[in-house]
Structure 1
């Protein structure tokens, strides 16, 4: 099913942008986990709209409700139902595109596939669906926290404005100190000003989010088709507006020589380490114990506050006018989504790793 992800820790999301609610059903969460609803709400608050003038002004509380699977603040091992009610739909904002195909949106492809589409905010294709992923991902983070695993994501590029520092050169604890979620305050301010300038011009801009995962032990991942980096790539590319994924040296490494790129092993105490980490913490599709790091490219938001030509369902040329409340840049609110998808990939591989070795001599 296209709305389900995971093999052991499995989530299924449901709902539309302008429906009554969205949510997720989580299966495979270990029983006995201390359930922290506040931690889930914290991640939802990082993603919710209306955080600053450079995000959509839709006002959603995004309050998580727990429907099942938790008793006396502990998980029971049964399916966990998480619900987020929609509160601020303005469906009339979309009546003007009921039969029109917005440029770079999923309107045409959904109509072609299903023969019908929910035009209100894009329906199921709306990025509002990602709130359910964030809720489920926040639960996955609680499982990973028991293993000492830390997940960080931050905005490292907006348009042509780049943070020219590696993740090791910035303080990852400062990510949430500004509206852009860039850990360098000076670069963050330039990014904020640029996004605001683009917003005032009725346009949009894309950029890059860098992800960092610390504390993953060696041995997580599967050979051939379920490689750890392949699942991370799939997870990131499933996020709305994502156009690219690279890990380790990525495309830059394609121009290097093998003698430059190879990570040399050495022994540090009882642990095998690498002198460099050009592999991005993954070799052969399996974690090697080093930091996992990657980059995710986001396109500019498709809806812009300018008139554009397109066609309608009858094939006639029409003008599509930008209306409604939209993000001029999706990156600040996408940071917790990248965090969540990272957690969902890793928790599933954590549980799968427990079944890959004999439990007896």
Structure 2
């Protein structure tokens, strides 16, 4: 019941970080859509570990295999099943925390909820779960092909990309390993991540996402508002600590006269502090939002903690871990945004028969 993403278009997933595989089932994907499965693999490759010096060095091909719902390159309308096998687990790296809890991790809460936990890589709490979301989101992009979704790293620690998104060339996002389209800022971000990595430390930051060409009318008026669905999806990402869209928290400092988006004659607005969404429904303007990520909890340095018996112990991360979640989270943010939008698109089609 609580393992499902979406309302009409849905994804249910399975798998653990050090288990046999990850996978999922997508339901209510419409029939007859010609699918580019190479694009799905490309999105997975953007998310996978081991792709640069500033991410975890775990080596996984993350090759997706589709089991059902696709025939002769087209969707059949039946559930789309897929699987991605794990290939490079090193479970021994976690033996030392089998009975201890890492600070700010899910170890303690999982034990309290279930009375049992898979300590190897965090089990179900591992961010490796997100590869399921990337597969589903990549297919969702192909369901709404005219919609452009571009996410990028907009800050690392106290280093910010000061340029507004309108001044950025999104084609340059993939030109550097931190995935910031501003080259000068990207260089500073990369150096900062390398510094904290040498210290056995981690660092957080933000990702900005810009969505263009969403027509007016997507989203529901009450409990499934478009911004609420986007926020829910983003806040489910491991290490996510915050979500804001449009003017966000800055809007709280403004007056109504300053904040209102006045109309042009064609229905567009002169400003877009609403972030492309009003009353929970898209208004045809750019949708933009920002997602905040905390520093990853696993540190490669000693920290005081407790074990299952409540005794004070010293824990220290071992093995391969990301010093910063942001570069690999960019395709995750894009994929979840695509899945939410495709879900809203399908619901809107039903409403407008």
Using the size of structure 2 for normalisation, the TM-score is: 0.99
> What SS does the aligned partner of 1:212 have?
strand
Which residue pairs with 1:182 in the alignment?
Answer: 180
Cα drift, residue 324 of structure 1: 1.3
Residues matched between the structures, number? 353
Which residue pairs with 2:331 in the alignment?
Answer: 336
Which residue pairs with 1:21 in the alignment?
Answer: 21
Which residue pairs with 1:171 in the alignment?
Answer: 169
> What SS does the aligned partner of 1:152 have?
strand
Which residue pairs with 2:249 in the alignment?
Answer: 251
Q: How does 1:1-361 map to 2 (within 5 A)?
A: 1-145=1-145, 148-268=146-266, 272-357=267-352, 359=353
Q: Which runs of 5+ in 2 are unaligned?
A: none
Write out the 4+ residue segments of structure 1 that deviate beyond 3 Å after TM superposition. none
Q: Distance in 2 between matches of 1:267 and 1:242?
A: 39
Q: Distance in 2 between matches of 1:265 and 1:83?
A: 47
Q: Distance in 1 between matches of 2:82 and 2:271?
A: 41
Cα drift, residue 216 of structure 1: 0.4
Q: Distance in 2 between matches of 1:150 and 1:24?
A: 25
> What SS does the aligned partner of 2:304 have?
strand
Q: Distance in 2 between matches of 1:2 and 1:155?
A: 30
State the Cα deviation string for residues 191-210 of structure 1 (Å, max 9, x = none): 00110011001100000000
> What SS does the aligned partner of 2:264 have?
strand
Q: Distance in 2 between matches of 1:40 and 1:293?
A: 24
> What SS does the aligned partner of 1:297 have?
strand
Cα drift, residue 35 of structure 1: 1.3
> What SS does the aligned partner of 1:265 have?
coil
Cα drift, residue 166 of structure 1: 1.1
> What SS does the aligned partner of 2:153 have?
strand
Q: Distance in 2 between matches of 1:320 and 1:29?
A: 45
Cα drift, residue 218 of structure 1: 0.3
Q: Distance in 2 between matches of 1:117 and 1:322?
A: 17
Cα drift, residue 36 of structure 1: 1.1
> What SS does the aligned partner of 2:265 have?
strand
Q: CA RMSD for the aligned pairs? A: 0.6
Cα drift, residue 355 of structure 1: 1.8
Using the size of structure 1 for normalisation, the TM-score is: 0.97
Q: Distance in 1 between matches of 2:3 and 2:92?
A: 27
